[in-house]
Amino acid sequence: MSIHSSLRTGKRASGELRNVLKRHERVRHLIEQGLWADGRSVFGLPKIKQAKVKVRKAAAKEEKAEATAEQSATTPTPSANK
């Protein structure tokens, strides 16, 4: 018997945004933020809010246009009189 398509996890990246972090992930986050004290208990850790960041389409198009303009300015143009 196969699994229903709505229940499949699919081939997702392992770094996908989840709202529940494992204990070691929460400790790693606290260390990166500088909020972890040595000798602290791993029990009773504070909740960590995961923020999903969306890029506006207009801003993404502007960045893409800037990148192409910068790239065309740095590449030498072939001369027609050879």
Secondary structure (DSSP) of 60-75: HHHHHHHHHHHHHHHS
Q: Considering the chain, what is the average pLDDT of its residues?
A: 79
User: Tokens 């529940």 sit at which residue?
Assistant: 20
For residue 41, the one-letter residue type is S
Asked whether 33 and 49 are in contact (CB, 8 A), the reply is no
Burial class (CB in 10 A: 0-12, 13-18, 19+), 36: middle
pLDDT of residue 16: 64
Confidence of residue 23 (pLDDT cuts 50, 70, 90): very high
pLDDT of residue 48: 85
Confidence of residue 21 (pLDDT cuts 50, 70, 90): confident
Q: Could you report how far apart the first and last alpha carbons of the chain are, in Å?
A: 70
